[in-house]
């Protein structure tokens, strides 16, 4: 066992998968110089053919990674900042998500795109987005939102082994998180399997990415008030582990979803709507969403600080279920 940070867990997963499968390669801007911190040592170990620096041509690079995947490689593309995905939006929607479907299932598209959600760091409106919900609206993509080092490693390893395109949204608020990783882990975390981190009987909090840690903190505080909170980390948003979420809410009767994304059409919206639609009778209070309000990240650190979900907001939402 060794203690590892979130970013090093990503690096470890990439190296392990590259060792395991010669078809795996990594590509990204500033990858060889390891500017973004998850590629340390890869160039030295795997060489220039399998560790490629990309020109700043997101459209060509996203499409080329897909094309390479269709012809036998298994690329992992580091998109760096999540908002750079928009530059290649046509490739993600019209090619990555659709090529298998449009071929009548004759093609496989085993490609992984990693992007960091770099927010609460005064990077302002163009570099601070948490854009996974808009990709949830595109059938054909799978979406992972690792909430810690164990998840970052385990989900990425699964993503590489899948024959479908996977977008991994890595939360920069978690970069410094440390966890023990099993050294010889050959059972990666399957996509579509939620993790119940804390069992409770009064309220289910489904929490996404950095909100998982905040939800656990809130649950600890609420326990002192006699409220028993169950914390569920879906780990992937597509596929979503509805069974685990439904089972939990059926027991607790109350749902709070904590999601760093912008409020409207957030992942929280989808979870709340689906629970209301499918198991309305189990609910003893209306579902609550703890999200980011429908504004962009302001540059001003003073304004940005209070914008995103935190433990206090999650606690307040939980308490409101009993009003």
Q: Which residues are catalytic?
A: 127
- Report the distance separating Cα 82 and Cα 132, nearest Å: 9
Judged by CB under 8 A, the residue of 11, 100, 235, 313 near another protein is 100
Judged by CB under 8 A, the residue of 21, 163, 187, 225 near another protein is 163
User: Least distance in Å: CB of 110 to another protein?
Assistant: 8
> Positive or negative CA dihedral for 242, 244, 247, 249?
negative
User: In terms of DSSP bridges, do strands 229-233 and 203-207 run parallel, antiparallel, or are they unpaired?
Assistant: parallel
- Asked if residue 144 binds another protein (CB under 8 A), the reply is no
Nearer to another protein, 101 or 322 (CB): 101
- Asked if residue 70 binds another protein (CB under 8 A), the reply is yes
Judged by CB under 8 A, the residue of 4, 14, 29, 91 near another protein is 91
- Asked if residue 66 binds another protein (CB under 8 A), the reply is yes
Judged by CB under 8 A, the residue of 5, 29, 83, 95 near another protein is 95
- Contact region with another protein (CB under 8 A), list: 11-19, 37-45, 69-77, 247-255: 69-77
Would you state the structure tokens that stand for residue 312, as one six-digit string? 């206090």
Query: For residues 46-72, b (16+ Cβ closer than 10 Å) or e, as one string?
Result: beeebbbebeeebeebbbbbbebbbee
- Report the distance separating Cα 143 and Cα 214, nearest Å: 21
Nearer to another protein, 45 or 90 (CB): 90
Nearer to another protein, 164 or 310 (CB): 164
30 strand-pairing partners? none
Site size toward another protein (CB under 8 A) is 48
- Report the distance separating Cα 318 and Cα 231, nearest Å: 12
- Report the distance separating Cα 91 and Cα 63, nearest Å: 6
| Residues of the shown chain interacting with another protein in the complex, contacts defined by CB under 8 A | 23, 25, 49-50, 55, 57, 59-73, 90-91, 94-95, 99-110, 139-140, 142, 162-164, 191-192, 238-240
């Amino acid at each position: 066992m060794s203690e590892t940070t979130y970013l090093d867990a990503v690096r470890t997963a990439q190296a392990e998968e590259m060792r395991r499968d010669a078809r795996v390669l990594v590509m990204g801007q500033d990858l060889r110089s390891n500017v973004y911190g998850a590629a340390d040592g890869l160039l030295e170990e795997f060489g220039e053919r399998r560790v490629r620096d990309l020109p700043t041509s997101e459209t060509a690079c996203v499409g080329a990674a897909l094309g390479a995947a269709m012809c036998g490689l298994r690329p992992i593309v580091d998109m760096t900042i999540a908002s750079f995905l928009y530059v290649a939006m046509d490739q993600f929607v019209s090619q990555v998500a659709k090529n298998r479907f449009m071929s009548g299932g004759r093609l496989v598209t085993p490609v992984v795109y990693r992007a960091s959600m770099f927010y609460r760091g005064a990077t302002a409106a163009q570099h601070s987005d948490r854009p996974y919900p808009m990709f949830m609206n595109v059938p054909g993509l799978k979406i992972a939102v690792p909430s810690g080092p164990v998840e970052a490693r385990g989900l990425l390893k699964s993503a590489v082994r899948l024959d479908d395109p996977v977008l991994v949204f890595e939360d920069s608020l978690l970069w410094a998180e440390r966890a023990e990783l099993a050294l010889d882990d050959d059972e990666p975390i399957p996509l579509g399997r939620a993790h119940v981190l804390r069992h409770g009987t009064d309220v289910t909090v489904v929490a996404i990415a950095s909100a998982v840690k905040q939800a656990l903190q809130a649950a600890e505080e609420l326990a002192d008030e006699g409220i028993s909170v169950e914390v569920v980390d879906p780990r992937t948003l597509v596929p979503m582990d509805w069974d685990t979420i439904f089972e939990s809410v059926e027991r607790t009767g109350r749902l709070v979803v904590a999601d760093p994304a912008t409020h409207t059409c957030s992942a929280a919206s989808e979870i709340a709507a689906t629970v209301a639609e499918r198991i309305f009778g189990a609910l003893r209070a209306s579902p609550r969403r703890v999200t980011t309000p429908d504004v962009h990240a302001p540059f001003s650190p003073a304004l940005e600080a209070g914008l995103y979900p935190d433990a206090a907001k999650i606690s307040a939402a939980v308490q409101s279920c009993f009003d």
